[in-house]
Structure 1
């Protein structure tokens, strides 16, 4: 007599949220997907990096924005985080946690470093000349390192072609997906991926030599 009742209706009648159940069932698959992508990124697979970026950027940007509370700084910090992912993906250890946990830990640390560097800069400006009130040396080091990294990135971006730099700008500064970049530039997706691949390789060579 119950054969005609849909399975989902039966779950709802039992007080089970089908949407939540579906999301929970999806979690292991999402983790497996991100794990596979991160392993490919460690092997310098640009397409895998693009997919990893598309699947995780909104969470990273959301976390960074909550810490920094400034859209401009948040965009810069998010770009720095994904450059760090590209450089250090091989350091990810599945035994220590999920790919998303690794990424969010990295993102939080980077955002906190940015806050510290900005606070250190503000302290130096407001208390300039008062030696007893100088910021701690580790904060000064953070500021110098982040400033130097940004300078290197800016110089390396200038070494790219105009089309490559435009793709990087749209994807990493403006937060567009590769598909959206394709639409914005009226170029097919394969062309955009090729430009991004060449641009990232160029940045990697430049930053590695810097």
Structure 2
């Protein structure tokens, strides 16, 4: 298809009610010529139906800018699909306006689908961020609670627990650092952890 001068919908010529019926046959003839690639016929068809197409689209989209864009898309589709028009199944005007309504509804559905996808992504990201923050806060609170609970231990118990669980030393290394038997370290750790459990209200 060579370049065709697409006119804006608002530049359409007016049509009176008296010649509307006669225009039906004329539109059909134009559409048949368009189907054969007649560009002049397409320009005439555009002048005749662009206004009604814009009106149908605007009622669906309720947005003038989008409606103008979709009107152009409809007229391009009419040019491409003209050979598929069958006069026996309805008027040329009805066929064109059906194309317009379908295209407008498709635009609404596409926009809604895009919005739904964005909402789902946003909700998923929000949930993930909340889970991460909640887990981090929980860990920090637990760590703080443990640090506060260490005050209930004896100095010897606290020393062993801090070396083993905060210093990362093995029981044997703790024994070597403190210069006490391994069994004593294990006893202090056991008693210290029991007291921590009781202080923190942890059910065994």
- TM-score (norm: length of structure 1): 0.49
Deviation at 1:114?
0.3
Structure label with greater radius of gyration: 2
The 4+ residue runs of structure 1 with deviation greater than 4 A are none
Structure 2 counterparts to residues 36-55 of structure 1, below 5 A: 36-55=29-48
Question: What's the offset of the Cα at 1:23?
Answer: 3.2
Candidates 7, 23, 28, aligned match of 2:17: 23
Give 1:1-210 correspondences, 5 Å limit.
23=17, 26-128=19-121
Aligned length: 109
2:43 is paired with a residue of what secondary structure? helix
Distance (Å, rounded) in 2 between the aligned partners of 1:23 and 1:71: 25
1:39-70 CA-to-partner distances (Å, cap 9, x unmatched) read 00000000000000001111100110110011
Structure 2 Cα separation of the partners of residues 96 and 130 of structure 1? 47
Q: Partner of 2:121: helix, strand, or coil? A: coil
In 1, Cα distance between the equivalents of 2:72 and 2:17? 28
Offset at 1:31? 0.6
Compared with structure 1, are the counterparts of its residues 72 and 27 closer, same or farther at alpha carbon in structure 2 (3 Å cutoff)?
A: closer
Structure 1: runs of 5 or more not aligned: 1-21, 132-210
Q: Distance in 1 between matches of 2:103 and 2:44?
A: 22
Q: Counterpart in 2 of 1:156?
A: none
Larger RCO (CA within 8 A; separation ≥ 6): 1
Q: What SS does structure 2 have at the residue aligned with 1:128? A: helix
Unaligned runs of 5+ in 2: 1-15, 125-204
